[in-house]
């Protein structure tokens, strides 16, 4: 019935498909663990909510710690190579960024447990889908795998956004779904154009670069621009940002911070690789879009008196800041992204969780008065919150001060080497918006320490709890990064 040739060809195809799977064991574990979580949840049906949540956290933490161990081993051994018909490429960049993403994911689950947050099956799948999509995005070496990885991130975000069933949740979900569908369609059209121009879809092949270099510049820029639309949508860069404020504002702190951190780290690394392999200069385009993103994010954050919305707009600005590494030399870009991304993740957790704890799920036009008396009731948390806000600004004693100085120095070196006005303009804008961010970030400490609470009766300092240990650990890590930054790079082996 089956010829020997057919059977041998099937065997060879399976061998080629699974080639290099030993290089992506952490990603395989995350993918398998999604299926394990779905199957295990069948046995949790009808259990008390607290018991079910505890088991879900337990299973999720086993999977993510196993993935973290395998990813760390892969990084320390310096494993590299192609996987599955060269659809994915494992190298030092993907190894280190994936360790960072998985570690931030494990930290988030730990913080969730300290805050005794619920953890439904839908939240588990949404969190894991964003995690897996981010890990695969950083390794993608083919246009199709880039598209599928980004869509996996979108799928996880769709699930998390849909968790909120009220009018606020619907208002946040609808723009994201519509923008997501539109950006996916545009990405696919750009992908088809790139294939038509180059006859190749492998991002790092000579044929792909040669095809773009020899194509009509109009069509080459059009194709890259369409593909860039899908990529910049995940970074919430201007003009693809309108979905971000409403979506982040509607989510609890855990998912708000996760969506703000993991996809941006992965896409930033993908951008580093693309910019240095595509044979067309995009310095001016990236500089202009980065300037627009920094200005819109920071200027828009000055208006809201709602804490969550303020942070949602500032997240747009940080996405613009993070992706400025696309203009740096590849080796320096990786180090700058890792250091900035690590500290941005920690400070985001430190601030977002406390904001969520104080303001809750309700969205009011002005919630600043909720912070009055917080220093008397929670003196330690208030101090750690100030550390987190200072870190988001990029001032000492936070390690982000060193990260931002690195960004500024790299931009200055880029300008000196190429004398491009757009790069100098970006540097000036980055410095100016950093100064602007002082105003809106320190608005919360102003109410915490300088505004008097009208009713102080019964306002007592709360006892030290597990949450305080979490906030204290995050604050210590953020400050320690300024004192001993080399320890971070030695740990990541870069």
Considering only CA atoms, give the Rg of the chain. Answer: 23
Q: How many domains, in total, are found in the chain?
A: 1
In this predicted structure, the answer to whether residue 349 has a pLDDT above a threshold of 70 is yes
- Over 90: is that where the pLDDT of 4 sits? no
What are the tens digits of pLDDT across the range 176-205? 888 888 899 999 999 999 999 988 899 888
136 part of a folded domain: no
Among 194, 192, 171, 190, CA closest to 182: 190
Whether residue 103 is contained in a domain is answered as no
Residue 255: its pLDDT value, please?
92
In a domain, 149, yes or no: no
433-459 pLDDT, tens digit per residue, is 999 999 999 999 999 988 776 665 444
Cα angle 52-58-62, degrees, rounded to a multiple of 5? 150
Q: Given pLDDT bands bounded at 50, 70 and 90, which one contains residue 8?
A: low
Position 362 pLDDT exceeds 80: no
Residue 46 lies in a domain: no
Q: Return the pLDDT at 5.
A: 67
Task: Quote the percentage of the chain above a pLDDT of 70.
Answer: 93
The Cα 66–Cα 60 span in angstroms is 10
- In the structure, what pLDDT confidence band is assigned to residue 7 with cuts at 50, 70 and 90? low
Where does the pLDDT of residue 278 fall: very low under 50, low under 70, confident under 90, or very high at 90 and above?
confident
Question: Within a domain: residue 423?
Answer: yes
Q: By C-alpha distance, which of 270, 278, 324, 271 is closest to 297?
A: 324
pLDDT digits (tens, 9 = 90+) for 51-98: 999 999 999 999 999 999 999 999 999 999 999 888 999 999 999 999
Residue 483 within any structural domain of the chain: yes
Q: Is residue 437 part of a domain?
A: yes
Q: Judge whether 58 lies within some domain.
A: no
Q: Enumerate residues 6+ apart whose C-beta is below 8 A from 484.
A: none
267, HSE (Cβ side, Cα atoms, 13 Å): 30
Q: How is residue 182 written in tokens? A: 């539109």
pLDDT at 268 over 80: yes
Alpha carbon distance 284, 246 (integer Å):
30
Q: Model's pTM, two decimal places? A: 0.94
Q: How far apart are CA 50 and CA 118, in angstroms?
A: 8
> Looking up tokens 């730990």, which residue turns up?
110
Rounded Cα–Cα distance for residues 262 and 136 (Å)? 12
Domain that holds residue 317: 284-494
Cα dist from 335 to 111, 311, 329, 340, whole Å: 27, 26, 10, 9
Mean pLDDT estimate for the chain: 88
Cα separation, 396 vs 398, whole angstroms: 5
């Amino acid at each position: 019935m089956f010829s020997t040739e057919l059977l041998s060809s099937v065997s060879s195809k399976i061998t080629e498909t699974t080639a290099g799977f030993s290089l992506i064991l952490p990603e395989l574990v995350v993918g398998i663990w999604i299926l394990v979580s779905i199957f295990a949840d069948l046995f949790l049906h009808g259990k008390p909510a607290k018991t079910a949540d505890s088991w879900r956290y337990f299973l999720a933490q086993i999977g993510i710690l196993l993935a973290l161990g395998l990813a760390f081993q892969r990084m320390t051994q310096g494993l590299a190579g192609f996987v599955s018909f060269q659809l994915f490429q494992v190298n030092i960049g993907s190894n280190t960024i994936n360790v960072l993403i998985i570690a931030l994911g494990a930290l988030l689950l730990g913080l969730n447990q300290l805050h005794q947050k619920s953890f439904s099956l839908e939240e588990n799948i949404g969190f894991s889908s964003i995690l897996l999509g981010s890990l695969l995005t950083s390794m993608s070496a083919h246009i199709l795998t880039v598209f599928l990885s980004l869509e996996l991130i979108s799928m996880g975000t769709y699930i998390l956004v849909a968790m909120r069933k009220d009018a606020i949740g619907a208002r946040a979900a609808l723009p994201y779904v519509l923008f997501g569908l539109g950006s996916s369609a545009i990405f696919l059209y750009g992908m088809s154009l790139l294939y038509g121009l180059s006859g190749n879809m492998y991002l790092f092949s000579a044929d792909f670069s040669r095809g773009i270099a020899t194509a009509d510049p109009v069509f080459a820029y059009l194709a890259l621009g369409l593909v860039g639309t899908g990529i910049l949508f995940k970074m919430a860069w201007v003009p693809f940002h309108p979905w971000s404020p409403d979506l982040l504002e509607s989510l609890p702190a855990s998912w708000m911070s996760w969506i703000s951190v993991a996809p941006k780290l992965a896409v930033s690394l993908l951008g580093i690789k693309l910019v240095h392999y595509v044979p067309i200069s995009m310095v001016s385009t990236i500089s202009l879009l980065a300037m627009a993103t920094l200005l819109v994010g920071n200027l828009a954050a000055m208006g809201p008196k709602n804490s969550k919305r303020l942070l949602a707009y500032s997240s747009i600005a940080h996405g613009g800041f993070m992706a400025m590494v696309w203009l740096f030399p590849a080796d320096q870009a990786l180090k700058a992204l890792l250091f900035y991304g690590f500290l941005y993740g920690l400070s985001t957790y430190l601030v977002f969780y406390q904001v969520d704890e104080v303001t809750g799920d309700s969205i009011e036009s002005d919630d600043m008065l909720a912070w009055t008396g917080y220093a008397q009731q929670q003196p330690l948390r208030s101090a750690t919150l100030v550390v987190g806000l200072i870190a988001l600004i990029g001032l000492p004693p936070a390690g982000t001060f060193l990260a931002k100085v690195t960004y500024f120095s790299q931009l200055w070196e880029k300008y000196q080497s190429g004398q491009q006005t757009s790069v100098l303009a970006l540097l000036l804008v980055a410095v100016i918006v950093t100064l602007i961010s002082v105003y809106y970030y320190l608005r919360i400490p102003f109410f915490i320490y300088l505004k008097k609470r009208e009713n102080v009766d019964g306002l007592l300092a709360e006892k030290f709890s597990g949450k305080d240990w979490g906030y204290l650990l995050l604050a210590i890590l953020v400050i320690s990064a300024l004192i001993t930054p080399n320890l971070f790079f030695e740990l990541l082996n870069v």
